Structure 1
């Protein structure tokens, strides 16, 4: 008489089936689940879907769409929020700050690119005020020759540095300091972009802007609401255009 197997029967470590008692029916093993390829956060497919949504929302510049599709946004958000990384929503990044919605990042960079560019269609030097987690700086690094990004919060400056290190973008320079003062050593700038809004565009920014350049930034209007503003600099003149309503953190001076 054959010996009955103990219960519960254990699969050997090599995955083979334990011996079956004579006369018993063979019970098939459950199929192993295999994760489908190309659907993870690291896949190009998920970024392509985000880019398609941006195009459907009106972003038409192929330089912007290409850069947005190349930068992995999930690497700039906290691990608890990675499943929302490619949704069109802002997400907290700590210290009361947020990473902007992909549609807002794309919109602002597209407005910046409508200004002064070189023969290859690239921006020259760009000043970013408010590095945050570093995501927008990474996108800018793919459409501009040089990016100087200033962050006033030490904790976010350090986080952005860690986030950007794997991307190896030699043309992106992170600075800890007061963004309202700009960065005179890098001026003049072909473009200045801000991730915080005040009641006026600081004169230091317009002073550091090159002729033919643009500032794209949120600004608080007389109504108390924020709107996206484009400032264009021509010889001896500044032209300001108020666009759609937006919601950004307040522009502050000093460091913390």
Structure 2
């Protein structure tokens, strides 16, 4: 079956992403041009623009396009800014961030996902992104960033991630317990941080960041 991916991509933007109040021109232009099908497994290419999560292996998933659009619009990465992405996954969101920001460092726990994402990014000639294989829960960047994007949910907000933000930096993160979680934007301020609640969603947990199982009698 031959799929017109350009037309399908346009339909995704107009019928999925834009109706979910994603109206930022730079974000719409980025996801409207970047070939999402190039970042999914061959047997899933026909679902690259569907309103569904796509499996990546290791219990991880590729976000729905609408959530990726809202995330990018919330963070508003600028052309002069540095980004830390926690959870590379397929590399698609990494590529979007690379198109919008000056540089991106992306951390992926699983070596096979990291290698595949780096290859996909290279194939798209996106050269301002570094994918590193590490466990972010025990990793330290040794520097700070303007933007942090956490692509997996966490049980609670991690203070150590906030410390990696530059003054006036912001972090997108989903936290709470499934099936109702809060997507928030954490702003680094002079006196600490400020939390802006964005919307409710449900997202797979970052590896090692799920809540402890509840004890029941």
TM-score class, shorter: 0.7 to 0.9
Q: Does 1:84 align with 2:44?
A: no
Mapped contact 2:179–2:202 kept (Cα < 8 A): no
2:19 corresponds to which of 38, 51, 56 = 56
Quote the Cα distance in structure 1 between the aligned partners of 2:208 and 2:190: 29
Name structure 1 gaps, 5 residues minimum. 1-34
Name structure 2 gaps, 5 residues minimum. 210-217
TM-superposed deviation, 1:123: 5.4
1:151 corresponds to which of 108, 122, 139 = 108
Quote the Cα distance in structure 2 between the aligned partners of 1:103 and 1:71: 15
Quote the Cα distance in structure 2 between the aligned partners of 1:214 and 1:182: 20
| Cross-structure match for 1:175 | 132
Mapped contact 2:121–2:127 kept (Cα < 8 A): no
What root-mean-square deviation, in Å, do the aligned CA atoms of Structure 1 and Structure 2 show? 2.2
| Cross-structure match for 2:194 | 239
| Cross-structure match for 2:148 | 192
Mapped contact 2:147–2:171 kept (Cα < 8 A): yes
Partner SS state of residue 249, structure 1: coil
Partner SS state of residue 99, structure 2: coil
| Cross-structure match for 1:140 | 97
TM-superposed deviation, 1:161: 1.7
TM-score, reference length from structure 2: 0.87
CA shift in 2, pair 1:217/1:172, >3 Å:
same
CA shift in 2, pair 1:64/1:182, >3 Å:
farther
> Could you report, residue by residue, the CA deviation over 1:25-44 in whole angstroms, capped at 9, with x for unpaired residues?
xxxxxxxxxx99xx622xx3
Q: Does 1:99 align with 2:62?
A: yes
| Cross-structure match for 2:33 | 70
Residues paired across the two proteins, number = 208
TM-superposed deviation, 1:46: 2.5
